[in-house]
Amino acid sequence: MSAETPGAETPASCCYQSYAPSTTGARLSALRAEWIKLRTLSGTWWLLLAVITLTVAVGAAAASAVNCTAAGCGQDPAKVALSGVDLSQVPVAILAVLAITGEYSNGMIRTTLTAMPRRLTVLFAKAVVVTVLTLAAGTVGVLASALAGRLLLPGHGFTPDRGYVPLSLASGPGLRAAAGSVIYLALIALLALGAGTAVRDSATAIGVVLGLVYLFPVIASALGPGWSRRLEQIGPMTAGLSIQATIGLRRLPLAPWQGLGVLALWAAGALLIGGLVLGRRDSLSLYLGAMRPAPIPHLTRMPEKIFVNIDVYLELIFSWTIECSHDPITGGVRQEARTPGRGSSGRSRPRGRAALPGAPVF
């Protein structure tokens, strides 16, 4: 084993910093990886289809069931046509939760965070991909619901002679209601993603999100007018869906955009908590788990108890080929090739290779 010459320059290929990707490159790589992971899951497309279907079907059913028999019957045509958003937020929340908790359940989170140690970058990438998919599905569903409402509501008493103009996205209130509904679904997705990151369990996270969304209206309806109005002002669903109102704005607990801002605060708070938990709770354990060689099952003694785990064997391969140590000269992390020794069969394993310039680092 040759000793290093004091003062000799450390090869560029031995340091993570030499070929570590830039911040922009890391984000683009993380975005591409998260997009591939989500689009290759069949459940993603079924959930997005459920978002569109529920938004259109429930909105059309509500427009067909409601009747306005007199002028000023108190029904908001925009809220009636877009009432499917109340139910389509459920598959949105499930999709966002599974985007992070699914990796915890199958152990893939260790591979993800080993390949991309910047945990906030991973969370950022997941948030962007989930938001884009939700915006796309929500836009299709909301546009179809608005079209169904425009066709169905005039036949149920919502006519100009009773004070109702046809539902149109060309008008300011109608456009605000439609665009705000799409943004509402995206914020629900971010709220669910933050909750899933903090909780790490699919069932618990989905229960927490749906409880926050649906329990506030139930509790508010059981209380007096004073407490009911306060709960409607802070509830994610009651405050956020005020963006759909086009009539009776003075009776709302909050102005439309203020209500959507309350939901944005809920989503930001959930993502903040999830990011803190992801960075503080998982960083040390996942780092040590990735750098520690995995035990090799004794093939001659337990042939029936071998469980194939891709994450374990990836870590085993990495631990054979590289060894990380602190370089006192550069103050960085150095990679050195090492000989793994002899196995149980008595034959030497192939000698590991040093990392080449430009090779990916895990």
DSSP string, 255-317: -HHHHHHHHHHHHHHHHHHHHHHHHHHHHHHHHHHHHSPPPPP-TTT-GGG----HHHHHHHH
> Residue 57: is its pLDDT beyond 60?
yes
Cβ partners under 8 Å of residue 120, min gap 6 = 275, 278, 279
> Residue 226: is its pLDDT beyond 80?
no
Cβ partners under 8 Å of residue 288, min gap 6 = none
Token representation of residue 109 = 């989170």
pLDDT bucket at 95, cuts 50 / 70 / 90: very high
Across 338-358, average pLDDT? 45
| pTM exceeds 0.75 for this model | no
Find the distance separating the first CA and the last CA of the chain, reported in whole Å: 26
Burial class (CB in 10 A: 0-12, 13-18, 19+), 17: exposed
Across 294-305, average pLDDT? 41
Name the phi and psi angles at 169, rounded to 5.
Answer: -80, -5
Domain ranges of the chain: 23-291, 302-362
User: For 119-123, 299-303, 350-354, which range has the lowest pLDDT when averaged over its residues?
Assistant: 299-303
161-205 per-position pLDDT tens digit:
777 888 888 888 899 999 999 999 999 999 999 999 999 999 999
* Helix, strand, or coil (residue 1): coil
Name the phi and psi angles at 323, rounded to 5.
Answer: -135, 130
Distance CA 214, CA 195 (A): 16
**Secondary-structure percent of the chain, ordered helix, strand, coil, rounded to 5:** 70, 5, 30
The answer to whether residues 207 and 235 touch, using CB atoms and an 8 Å cutoff, is no
308-334 per-position pLDDT tens digit:
444 444 454 444 444 444 444 444 444
Whole-number pLDDT of residue 158: 84
Nearest Cα residue to 197 out of 104, 61, 79 = 104
- Evaluated on CA atoms 134, 135, 140, 141, the torsion sign reads positive
Name the phi and psi angles at 15, rounded to 5.
Answer: -120, 135
DSSP letter assigned to residue 349: P
Cβ partners under 8 Å of residue 279, min gap 6 = 119, 120
Token representation of residue 327 = 């370089």
